Amino acid sequence: MTDINSINGYTQTGTSSQVASKNLSADMNTFLTLLTTQLKYQDPLDPMDTAEFTNQLVQYSSVEQAIQTNSKLETLLSLNIANLGAQAVSYMGKVAQVLGDVMPLEGGKAKATYTLDKNVSSAVITVKDMNGKVVYSEQGKITSGTHEFTWDGKDSDGNQLEDGAYQIVVSTKVPTGETSATVTTTVFGRVTGVASDSNGVYVGLGDAVTANLGDILTVRNDDYFDKIPGGGDNEGEGDGDVEEPGEGSGEGDNNENAPEESV
């Protein structure tokens, strides 16, 4: 998820159905060669039973039909992926909210959210670089629900860090005897590229993060980051540029997932 170089397109070297078709063709040729050789040298007074090799021919035909069906399905899948890729191009330049824990730091600004499924005794937000080194931490909100986290890209000593990919980890504690809390994180990043391969469509966030198209939760205006103040847990600021159909933007934590464009 952290290699933006993968946003360079994809060249397919061969589908599974094409490989299977070649193998079947080779096996069929071998079978026919053996069959004709057997027929050539059979005893005219005691000819071979045709039922067995007829049954084998029928089996080959069934396998061939199945391979052709798979080939058609692969074609439909490729067309669907291409269509998704074309749709994803419209996200270029906009800010996407993505399910995940690796966030891009762009121009000294990064934003994420974390959702707690229950109240906890304590919550610590930790930011790590891609080598696993802790560069920043702070106390987070302990109430259940969705909370925002914005970071100005400075480490715990106040030094400005380089733009790139950073992991957000939220560690929680609960009272003795209670089950641990479930934490779900999302990250924000400006969409800078779109790519696809046989497994799906991907978008580049900033200059260092790659995310699956299916993990995008919301897409927001391209000036979204310009309205984010640097640093701190800024709940209550609201997302002024986020609108739901037929509604104005709201205030508070629980409006974080109100999309401008549903994905």
Q: Got the DSSP string for 54-110? A: HHHHHHHHHHHHHHHHHHHHHHHHHHHHHHHHHHHGGGTTSEEEEESSEEEEBTTBE
| Co-location of 64 and 159 in the same domain | no
What confidence category does residue 25 fall into, taking pLDDT thresholds of 50, 70 and 90? low
| Co-location of 99 and 76 in the same domain | no
The predicted model gives 23-28 an average pLDDT of: 69
The predicted model gives 37-60 an average pLDDT of: 73
Q: Tell me the helix, strand and coil percentages in the chain, rounded to 5.
A: 30, 30, 40
pLDDT on residue 91 = 85
d(CA 103, CA 148): 13
| Co-location of 154 and 249 in the same domain | yes
| Co-location of 157 and 193 in the same domain | yes
Name which residue leads in pLDDT, 50 or 109: 109
| Co-location of 81 and 117 in the same domain | no
Per-residue model confidence as pLDDT tens digits over 52-104: 767 777 777 777 777 777 777 777 666 666 666 667 788 888 999 999 999 99
pLDDT on residue 84 = 66
Residue 82 forms part of a structural domain: yes
Name which residue leads in pLDDT, 256 or 203: 203
| Co-location of 98 and 169 in the same domain | yes
Q: Going by DSSP bridges, is the β-strand pair 110-116/183-197 parallel, antiparallel, or unpaired?
A: antiparallel
For residue 49, the SS3 value is coil
Domain termination residue (choose one: 58, 90, 122) = 90
| Co-location of 179 and 71 in the same domain | no
Domain termination residue (choose one: 45, 75, 90) = 90
Residue 236 forms part of a structural domain: yes
| Co-location of 127 and 243 in the same domain | yes
Is the pTM of the predicted complex or chain greater than 0.85?
Answer: no
Residue 1 forms part of a structural domain: no
Residue 124 forms part of a structural domain: yes
d(CA 200, CA 214): 9
Q: Which helix (H) or strand (E) holds 259?
A: none
pLDDT on residue 66 = 77
Number of compact structural domains in the chain: 2
Name which residue leads in pLDDT, 245 or 23: 23
Residue 224 forms part of a structural domain: yes
d(CA 204, CA 104): 10
| Co-location of 159 and 237 in the same domain | yes
Residue 8 forms part of a structural domain: no
CB of 164 closer than 8 Å to CB of 145: no
Name which residue leads in pLDDT, 30 or 97: 97
Retrieve residue 62's tokens: 């069934």
What confidence category does residue 263 fall into, taking pLDDT thresholds of 50, 70 and 90? very low
What confidence category does residue 12 fall into, taking pLDDT thresholds of 50, 70 and 90? very low
Q: Going by DSSP bridges, is the β-strand pair 209-212/216-220 parallel, antiparallel, or unpaired?
A: unpaired
Reply yes or no on whether the pLDDT at 262 is more than 60: no
d(CA 105, CA 255): 23
* First-to-last C-alpha distance (Å) of the chain: 20
CB of 245 closer than 8 Å to CB of 145: no
Task: Name the residue among 93, 159, 161 with its Cα closest to residue 130.
Answer: 161
| Co-location of 97 and 210 in the same domain | yes
| Co-location of 52 and 147 in the same domain | no
Residue 188 forms part of a structural domain: yes
Domain termination residue (choose one: 90, 112, 146) = 90
d(CA 16, CA 14): 7
- Domain span including residue 46: 13-90
Length of the chain: 263
**Minimum mean pLDDT range among 18-32, 89-103, 210-224:** 18-32
pLDDT on residue 256 = 43
Residue 59 forms part of a structural domain: yes
| Co-location of 135 and 24 in the same domain | no
The predicted model gives 45-57 an average pLDDT of: 72
Residue 100: which CATH number? Answer: 2.60.40.4070
Mean residue pLDDT across the chain: 76
pLDDT on residue 77 = 67
Reply yes or no on whether the pLDDT at 146 is more than 90: yes
